[in-house]
A and B are shown apart, each in its own frame.
Chain A
Amino acid sequence: GAVVSQHPSRVICKSGTSVKIECRSLDFQATTMFWYRQFPKQSLMLMATSNEGSKATYEQGVEKDKFLINHASLTLSTLTVTSAHPEDSSFYICSARGSGVPPSGNTIYFGEGSWLTVV
């Protein structure tokens, strides 16, 4: 199956600093990438949808100035948590939808997730 890589898998940062998480589609071109946040024992909460070369579309209640998303190429999207605070500590997961024919064309594949701890 298609592979989506996320980096770093775990990161600890100090309150007030910014941290960047990368999401890469390794064996397909990702027309669209999605960023989710997941709290313990909760389902995935969609934060934003990004299409290559255009601005991300944020879900209601998600601060776009705090969670900066860049989808600069068909294989890379980044999420930057700016001025992080302890309440931003969470599991962040990206997913990618491929272009072209199935399976990658219609199917959405997830990265392994990134654990962010803000101290």
Chain B
Amino acid sequence: QKEVEQDPGPLSVPEGAIVSLNCTYSNSAFQYFMWYRQYSRKGPELLMYTYSSGNKEDGRFTAQVDKSSKYISLFIRDSQPSDSATYLCAMRSSGGSNYKLTFGKGTLLTVNP
């Protein structure tokens, strides 16, 4: 079993739809959870950063972490064509100097006008 599982999609939705992206993981040591957005041929851009369980909202984006289920989600409200990109979940454990991220494979999202 891979440490982080993410459905690669592709996922295609109409403009204005609510998008739900998620990842599951197996390592209970993961404490920090991130979502990155990567446009084609560009570096990943940090969208959301969450520590431990709970919800975090930033504009149209909401990140949820359920550590008991080892499940994280990213919701995008009122999706726009400019949201079309690959979304990568990433996570890491805490402590020491280990800041290595473990990534999901990424989900390719297309928002159609």
Contacts and interface: CB of A to CB of B under 8 A. Distances in A.
Given A43-B105, A43-B106, A32 B43 contact: no
A97 B92 CA distance: 13
Contacts of B36: 110
Contacts of B104: 43
B60 interface: no
Contacts of A115: 41
B106 to A, nearest CB: 6
B99 A110 contact: no
A46 B49 CA distance: 20
A6 interface: yes
A97 B41 contact: no
Nearest to B88: A43
B26 to A, nearest CB: 16
A113 B42 contact: yes
B43 A103 contact: no
A97 B106 contact: no
B71 interface: no
B46 interface: yes
Contacts of B103: 43-44
B44 A110 contact: yes
Nearest to B6: A43
Interface in B46-73: 46, 49
B44 to A, nearest CB: 5
19 contacts: A1-B46, A6-B43, A32-B97, A42-B105, A43-B88, A43-B104, A46-B100, A49-B100, A107-B34, A107-B46, A107-B49, A108-B34, A108-B46, A108-B99, A109-B46, A110-B43, A110-B44, A111-B43, A112-B42
